[in-house]
Amino acid sequence: MLRDDVTEAIRLAVFEELAASGYGRLSIEAVARRAGVGKTAVYRRWRSKLPMVIEVVSEVASMGLVLPDTGSLQDDLRMFVHVVARVLRHPLAAQIVPDLLAEAARNPEIADTLATALREAQRDSSAALVRKAVERGELPADTDPELALDLIAGPLYWRLAVARGPVSRDYLDRLAVAIGAALAAGRR
Amino acid sequence: MLRDDVTEAIRLAVFEELAASGYGRLSIEAVARRAGVGKTAVYRRWRSKLPMVIEVVSEVASMGLVLPDTGSLQDDLRMFVHVVARVLRHPLAAQIVPDLLAEAARNPEIADTLATALREAQRDSSAALVRKAVERGELPADTDPELALDLIAGPLYWRLAVARGPVSRDYLDRLAVAIGAALAAGRR
DNA sequence: GGACGACGCAACGCAACCGTTCCGTCGTGA
DNA sequence: TCACGACGGAACGGTTGCGTTGCGTCGTCC
């Protein structure tokens, strides 16, 4: 019964409002205002701000990243950093992701949402990447997948979301090479 | 004229309130309440929330990290990760740093404060670390200090502030080894 | 011992947002 | 054609925080 175009307008407004104000300052009034709908329309869909944000965010975040199997560790890593860089370069994502991660530190429900939607997907991706490399003989069998994820995701996240420095194609390629070397050295 | 004990109580309250509510939700009323002082005492010191937070945070953040020169790249890296890990494991820091970094994305004044107080200090540290290693012949001369900082700070920040996983002494040592290998591979 | 000033406290008017309710409109399906 | 229900809009009382003001207390310096 609820009109899809209204729902979609609200969804978009939630993202824009999250980026502009952050979760802490986000208000349902502002979301409705930005979406051009009445508060009633929002409350008809969600009981409050938390479930609204959780539903809207998890729907997008759980889409996951598509990471092809290129057949070599080095190319897998190149693919990985390029894909992640493309996502995190999106202005909305670059603004919202760090905000929600910070909020997750004090809100268990948001923490759960991000853990399942973002981290598990990424952990699985990197674990698969490592496993395949081990099977190919490109990495030692005792490579630590936990450490590997930190080495793969950390520098890129730092660069894009924390330091917010420029990221050239050349930089990403060199980063992938460096990560490959780090993985080979980071035995369990 | 302003009483030092009152000022100190407010400072502490700002940190606790930042950790508990985040910058977005932080209110001067709550700070005064937590510090056990009147709102008047706060407004007598700062015109509003932003200058208050900026002054209090920058005073602490600008203390900088002391990074000894051990004489070898590997030990320098071990020192670095252990020192940073100790700082970021502090509950207040672990809560406040990601929050302020997220807020910095939409507030230029906070961004400036963090850039000078945190990143410049850290960038200088890692740049010095790389420079010394190059002089010792442990790293190639064309090592990229920008990439180096990302490789050093990224994994640790990801682990401690994003994934919030456990960090054992053994893990830190292996991380330092992996970073060393990555640095050697990440030519400009 | 008296003046000064920071202190806590309470109250002010104002604004924003909460979650709810009522209303008149409009599109859709029976 | 008519009933139903989601819609936008307006208003509700209540809460929270803003930044300011006035007051009486208390410690300090002259």
Token pair 């606790």 in the structure block, residue? B16
Of A110-124, B9-23, B101-115, which gets the smallest average pLDDT?
A: A110-124
Identify the bridge partners of residue A143 per DSSP, sorted by sequence position: A187
Among candidate residues B40, B57, B74, the one where a domain is terminated? B57
B2 touches strand C (CB under 7 A): yes
Of B119, B181, B186, the CB nearest to A163: B119
User: What interface predicted TM-score (ipTM) does this complex get?
Assistant: 0.90
**B141 plus B69 within the same structural domain:** yes
**A40 plus A123 within the same structural domain:** no
Reported as a single tens digit per residue, the pLDDT across A65-80 is 778 799 999 999 999 9
For chain B, the average pLDDT equals: 93
Q: Do residue B103 and residue A171 have CB atoms under 8 angstroms apart?
A: no
- Distance from the first to the final alpha carbon of chain B: 55
pLDDT band at A187 (very low <50, low <70, confident <90, very high): confident
Q: So what's the pLDDT on residue A177?
A: 97
- Give the pLDDT mean for B94-113: 95
Asked whether residue A56 is domain-assigned, the answer is no
Q: So what's the pLDDT on residue B188?
A: 78
**A106 plus A140 within the same structural domain:** yes
**B71 plus B30 within the same structural domain:** no
Q: So what's the pLDDT on residue B8?
A: 97
Number of Cβ pairs < 8 A linking chain A and chain B = 148
**What residue numbers bound the domain in which A126 lies?**
62-185
**B137 plus B67 within the same structural domain:** yes
Question: How many structural domains comprise chain A?
Answer: 2
Asked whether residue A57 is domain-assigned, the answer is no
Q: So what's the pLDDT on residue B47?
A: 96
Residues in chain A with CB shorter than 8 Å from the CB of B146 are 165, 171
Q: Do residue B159 and residue A150 have CB atoms under 8 angstroms apart?
A: yes
For chain A, the average pLDDT equals: 93
**B140 plus B123 within the same structural domain:** yes
**What are the backbone dihedrals phi and psi of residue A187, each rounded to the nearest 5 degrees, phi first?**
-65, 160
**B176 plus B149 within the same structural domain:** yes
**B112 plus B158 within the same structural domain:** yes
Residue closest to C4 C1′ by Cα = B1
- Could you tell me the CATH number of the domain that includes residue A23? 1.10.10.60
Write down which residues 28-67 in B have CB closer than 7 A to strand C: 36-41, 44
pLDDT of B161 over the 80 cut: yes
Nucleotides of C under 7 A from a protein CB: 5-11, 16-22
**B177 plus B92 within the same structural domain:** yes
Reported as a single tens digit per residue, the pLDDT across A23-43 is 999 999 999 999 999 999 999
- C-alpha distances in Å from residue B64, one per residue of A54, A158, B59, B83, B162: 37, 19, 10, 11, 22
Contact B60, B114 (CB under 8 A): no
Asked whether residue A23 is domain-assigned, the answer is yes
Give the separation between CA A10 and CA A3, rounded to whole angstroms.
11
**B84 plus B30 within the same structural domain:** no
**A18 plus A82 within the same structural domain:** no
A98 Cα to chain B: minimum distance (Å): 5
Find, in chain B, the residue whose alpha carbon is nearest to that of A105. Answer: B95
- Sequence-ordered alpha helix ranges (H) in chain B: 4-25, 28-35, 39-43, 49-61, 73-89, 91-104, 108-114, 120-136, 145-157, 169-185
**A154 plus A75 within the same structural domain:** yes
Give the separation between CA A16 and CA A23, rounded to whole angstroms.
11
Asked whether residue A101 is domain-assigned, the answer is yes
Token pair 């409050």 in the structure block, residue? A48
CB atoms within 10 A of CB B164: 17
Task: Output B121 or B32, whichever has higher pLDDT.
Answer: B32
- Could you tell me the CATH number of the domain that includes residue B178? 1.10.357.10
Task: Output B175 or A59, whichever has higher pLDDT.
Answer: B175
